[in-house]
């Protein structure tokens, strides 16, 4: 936690330490080092994510989308309150909807902003930590941390120049064992901190759309 910041942990990926007394207290109580977890677990995933975006590997993105995006798909389809469908049927329909929308010109939740150009330089910082219970008899204590992946200059303006906007992908990291780590893309925000999940953001006229 006292390592230099910012610090390049991998080519083109810079780690930024979060200066938050509250988060630091939870990290100390939970005996967690977010920099070490980032270096050993998160950086390899971020490298995979960047490659998937560059190569338009939609399957990789779909695989790691969190529940908010499934809920959004169901709302956009108008099946979120359909009592004639089981939850499994709703999930499968939402899954197919996301598959089609991600590949369309319109895209899904504005993810096209991440697919339309390369990002040689990314930022990474922890934003949230769940307090975990430490038991002496356990050889491994599970953990959950949330990181922000920062995509700088994410928008190309109409004249072809790069905008000064930042895009943020919120990534949840679940550690359930030494070799058992799960990743989930939980949110996607613009430079204002507003969500690209349409049902959870202000009306279009109040949402600064670049």
Answer for the pair 150, 18: CB distance below 8 angstroms, yes or no: no
Task: Return the percentage of the chain with pLDDT > 90, whole number.
Answer: 58
Q: Would you place residue 157 in the very low, low, confident or very high pLDDT band (cuts 50, 70, 90)?
A: low
Q: How far apart are CA 122 and CA 10, in angstroms?
A: 10
Find tokens 């190309």 and name the residue: 156
Write the pLDDT tens digit of every residue in 71-98.
Answer: 999 999 999 888 899 999 999 999 999 9
Output 145 or 192, whichever has higher pLDDT.
145
Asked whether the beta carbons of 180 and 199 are under 8 A apart, the reply is no
Looking at the domain assignment, is residue 164 inside a domain? yes
Specify which of 63-72, 101-110, 157-166, 194-203 reaches the highest per-range mean pLDDT: 63-72
pLDDT at 163 over 70: no
210: pLDDT strictly greater than 50: no
Domain that holds residue 152: 7-64+118-132+139-206
DSSP string, 113-142: HHHSS--S-EEEEEEEE------TT-S---
- Rounded-to-10 torsion of CA 55, 128, 154, 112: 50
Residue 86 lies in a domain: no
Structural domain includes residue 76: no
Alpha carbon 106 to its chain centroid, in Å, reads 20
Q: What is the pLDDT of residue 155?
A: 57
Q: Is 185 a domain residue?
A: yes
Total number of domains constituting the chain: 1
CA distance 23 to 128: 7
CA dist 83 and 89 (Å) reads 11
Q: Answer yes or no: is 69 within a domain.
A: no
Confidence of residue 2 (pLDDT cuts 50, 70, 90): low
18 Cβ neighbours under 8 A, 6+ residues apart? 34, 125, 126, 127
**90 located within any domain:** no
- Tell me: pLDDT of 164 over 70: no
Average pLDDT of the chain is 87
Whether residue 126 is contained in a domain is answered as yes
User: What Å distances lie between residue 57 and 30, 103, 120, 173, 175, CA to CA?
Assistant: 36, 10, 17, 21, 25
Confidence of residue 189 (pLDDT cuts 50, 70, 90): confident
Q: Is residue 56 part of a domain?
A: yes
Q: What is the mean pLDDT of residues 128-137?
A: 88
User: What pLDDT does 139 receive?
Assistant: 80
The stretch 168-186 carries a mean pLDDT of 91
pTM, entire model: 0.86
- Summarize pLDDT for 17-49 with one digit per residue, the tens: 888 889 999 999 999 999 999 999 999 999 999
Q: Find the range with the poorest average confidence among 61-65, 104-108, 113-117, 201-205.
A: 201-205
């Amino acid at each position: 936690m006292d390592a230099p910041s910012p610090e390049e942990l991998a080519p083109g990926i810079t780690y930024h330490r979060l200066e938050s007394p509250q988060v630091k207290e939870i990290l100390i109580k939970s005996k967690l080092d977010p920099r070490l977890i980032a270096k050993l677990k998160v950086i390899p995933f971020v490298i995979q994510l960047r490659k998937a975006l560059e190569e338009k590997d939609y399957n990789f993105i779909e695989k790691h989308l969190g529940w908010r995006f499934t809920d959004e798909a169901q709302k956009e389809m108008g099946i979120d309150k359909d009592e004639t469908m089981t939850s499994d049927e709703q999930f499968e329909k939402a899954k197919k909807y996301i598959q089609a929308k991600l590949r369309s010109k319109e895209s899904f939740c504005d993810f096209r902003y991440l697919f339309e150009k390369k990002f040689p330089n990314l930022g990474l910082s922890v934003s949230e930590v769940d307090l975990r219970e430490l038991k002496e008899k356990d050889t491994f204590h599970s953990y959950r941390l949330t990181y922000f992946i920062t995509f700088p200059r994410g928008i190309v303006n109409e004249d072809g120049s790069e905008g000064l906007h930042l895009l943020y992908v919120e990534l949840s990291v679940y550690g359930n064992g030494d070799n058992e780590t799960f990743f989930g893309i939980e949110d996607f925000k613009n430079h204002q901190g507003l969500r690209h999940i349409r049902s959870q953001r202000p009306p279009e006229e109040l949402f600064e759309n670049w």
